[in-house]
Amino acid sequence: MHLFCSYIASLTRQDPEDFVREVEVDVKSYDEFCVYEFTIGRFAFKQVLWTEIEDSDWTKDDVLDSDSQELIDIYDAMFGPDGDFIPELRLNEPTECIVVLDRVVLHPEIVECEQHLLNAALELFTYASLVVAWRPLLKMSDRELAQIGFKKLAGSSLVFRHSCLKNEYQSMFPRGFDDSVDATEDHEEWFLKEWGSWEAEKSDEDNAENSN
């Protein structure tokens, strides 16, 4: 298996929404003969360019409000009134961007590889990244989540990790881990159906939020 990363990013920083990138990381695998390649999973992220906001004419509230209630909720849970991380997080590391895991769809045959795939996907971002996810999005165990550096935020369903901090997984798999799958057209058809259902649901939610 291997990863394919695509961005939707603005060329400028003129508007608040320009500070939030949409990032999709596809999980791809070849068939048993290594001839045809199929997409069998995907992670969707939002990358908030945190330090760039500080150097702009916009405030963090401007950027969060321009995107979604989800980002506002995450900010309220993790930051204090002074704009710094709440003490419970025990984070003093420099943070260039905040990476929010928005959606995960993995074919049932590779769900058991979720830990390895997510860790590899997160290594595509800068080490000065704070990664945040809603715990129900992930099927891996709490132990597996902790091994790749995630901690629970008390009183919330959020989990987080700072990518510059060492974690147990790096010692367990210093060169990464790959459990190959002989992909088929059926794998990709299943994935496309599941992803399409989520996109339709997300579009309905966005339309409802914009109408309020």
pLDDT tens-digit series, residues 26-44: 999 999 998 999 999 999 9
pLDDT tens-digit series, residues 42-70: 999 999 999 999 889 999 999 999 998 99
Read off the pLDDT of each residue in 112-141 and give the average, rounded to a whole number: 94
Neighbours of 27 (CB within 10 A): 26
**Where do the structural domains in the chain lie, given as residue ranges?**
2-211
Between 180 and 147, residue with greater pLDDT:
147
Quickly state the pLDDT bin for 82 (edges 50, 70, 90): confident
pLDDT at residue 211 above 90? no
Read off the pLDDT of each residue in 109-137 and give the average, rounded to a whole number: 94
pLDDT at residue 124 above 70? yes
123: helix, strand or coil: coil
Amino acid identity for residue 4 in this structure: F
Residues of the chain above pLDDT 90, percent:
65
Do 146 and 5 touch, CB atoms closer than 8 A?
Answer: no
CA atoms within 13 A on the CB side of 96: 7
pLDDT tens-digit series, residues 151-207: 999 889 999 999 988 889 888 888 877 777 899 999 999 999 999 987 777 666 665
Between 202 and 88, residue with greater pLDDT:
88
Residues of the chain above pLDDT 70, percent:
95
Produce one character per residue of 57-92: b if its CB has 16 or more CB atoms within 10 Å, e if not.
ebebeebbeebbebbeebbebbeeeeeebeeebebe
Do 6 and 27 touch, CB atoms closer than 8 A?
Answer: no
> Which stretches within the chain are classed as H helix?
50-54, 60-67, 69-78, 114-122, 142-147, 168-172, 185-211
In this prediction, residue 170 carries a pLDDT of 85
Q: How far apart are CA 204 and CA 128, in angstroms?
A: 34
In this prediction, residue 174 carries a pLDDT of 81
Quickly state the pLDDT bin for 20 (edges 50, 70, 90): very high
